[in-house]
Structure 1
Amino acid sequence: MLTFNKGLFMQVSIIGKHLDIGDSLREYIEKSITENVTKYFDSAISAHVAIAKEGHHFKNHLFKTDIIVNEGTGNKILIKGEGLEADAYQSFDDAVRRMEKQLRRYKRKIKNHHNIRPEKEFAATKYIISPSTEEDEVEETSEAPVIIAEKATSIQSLSVSDAVMRMDLMNLPALLFINSGTNKLNLVYYRSDGNISWVDTNVSA
């Protein structure tokens, strides 16, 4: 699905999981995502919107929306938003609000820092492992966890402030990175009290 955007074409893909995206909702999403993204990034390349019907809450289905936007500046940044509501429209609107809040916060930083792209990238592999349950027997042996999936990724060389920005824009709970000032392995993550912790190690990249 192509949406015209200030002289550029931004590709907007919309999928429904366990529900049929009707014409009315599709048009609403296309119009809203274009308006809300292009007022911050007129060079945005693509937006992907997925709405899934899942679970029950007080006997009503919940709708979960995931939005991923490639902002198109060449800085290897993805912007993500999530929404969870009892109505598909409200779920999408919630995801857009969350995404727009982050865009407002970091727009000036991204626009004014053309060297915001990572200085270096280190190849890595990301694994998704199966969590333990209460029924699992705890063994003393150090067996490897059950791997559900694996994916090639990278650890980027960033300043601490840029690492926090990327963590927020990508809606992540934590981000592992190489501190561009010290060339050491660092970690930023959100604490349960809402503050951010920064772990500065002595491990060289």
Structure 2
Amino acid sequence: MATFTVRGKNIEITPSLREYVEKRVGKVTKYFENVGDISVLLTVSKGRHIVEVTVPVQGGILLRGEEATMDMYTSIDLVVEKLERQIHKQKTKLARRFRGGGFKAEALQSSVIPEKQEDEEYKVVKTKRFIVKPMDVQEAVMQMNLLNHNFFVFRDSETEEVNVVYKRTDGNYGLIESGN
């Protein structure tokens, strides 16, 4: 039986809410023999109900999911679906890694989530082309905000490297630098 650490931020964790979290999130334990302490953080921020789940599994594997909706119970359900999709998507790699046991591949057979075929390729439905102009980070952030995008690709005017600036959920900005 897995142990749970359920914490709340701007929300009181009622016994019924804790029970629902343990019941729903506990579903992911059926795929593995040894699961560590499952960490669940429930947050209410600006009317959004955010659920963050971290599930450590033997062998150093970490499953993590986050969902945000206007309803806490819906967020919990969606994050469980997300974790199960992760398991299905990586089932071959997981089975290989747990060759000596620990991963219950048979649990995947009873699940209703459609699985991706091994030889199936990812389908690209749209391609966009654009010129990556040289600019500094501050100019790239300004351009991103003017375009009302969450990220912006630019060429650093000093290093000529292609980088990405992005808007973080906390309102700050991040930079992804290309490197060798």
- TM-score band by shorter chain is 0.5 to 0.7
Give the gaps of 5 or more residues in structure 2. Answer: 100-136, 143-177
Structure 2 residue 37 is the aligned partner of structure 1 residue 53: no
- CA deviation after TM superposition for structure 1 residue 114, in Å: 4.5
Aligned residues: 106
TM-score when normalising by structure 2: 0.53
Q: Which structure's residues are more often strand, by fraction?
A: 1
Letter in 2 for 1:91: S
Give the match for residue 42 of structure 1: 33
- CA deviation after TM superposition for structure 1 residue 95, in Å: 1.1
Residue pairs, 1:83-102, within 5 angstroms: 83-102=67-86
Give the match for residue 69 of structure 1: 55
Contact 1:83 / 1:93 at 8 angstroms: preserved in 2? no
Structure 2 residue 95 is the aligned partner of structure 1 residue 103: no
Distance in 1 of aligned mates of 2:82 and 2:98: 25
Identity %: 29
Residue pairs, 1:23-34, within 5 angstroms: 23-34=15-26
Give the match for residue 156 of structure 1: none
- CA deviation after TM superposition for structure 1 residue 88, in Å: 0.7
Distance in 2 of aligned mates of 1:114 and 1:42: 10
Give the match for residue 13 of structure 2: 21
Deviation >3 Å, runs of 4+: 131-134
Residue pairs, 1:112-123, within 5 angstroms: 112-114=96-98
Three-state SS of the structure 2 residue aligned to 1:39 is helix
Distance in 2 of aligned mates of 1:19 and 1:113: 38
Give the gaps of 5 or more residues in structure 1. Answer: 56-60, 116-130, 135-198
Distance in 1 of aligned mates of 2:98 and 2:32: 14
Residue pairs, 1:185-204, within 5 angstroms: 201=180
TM-score when normalising by structure 1: 0.47
CA-atom RMSD, angstroms?
Answer: 2.4
* Structure possessing the higher radius of gyration over alpha carbons: 2
Contact 2:28 / 2:83 at 8 angstroms: preserved in 1? no
Residue pairs, 1:163-178, within 5 angstroms: none
Distance in 1 of aligned mates of 2:69 and 2:14: 18
Q: Deviations over 1:163-182 (max 9, x none)?
A: xxxxxxxxxxxxxxxxxxxx
Distance in 1 of aligned mates of 2:85 and 2:179: 28
- CA deviation after TM superposition for structure 1 residue 33, in Å: 1.5
Distance in 2 of aligned mates of 1:67 and 1:30: 11
Q: Which structure's residues are more often helix, by fraction?
A: 2
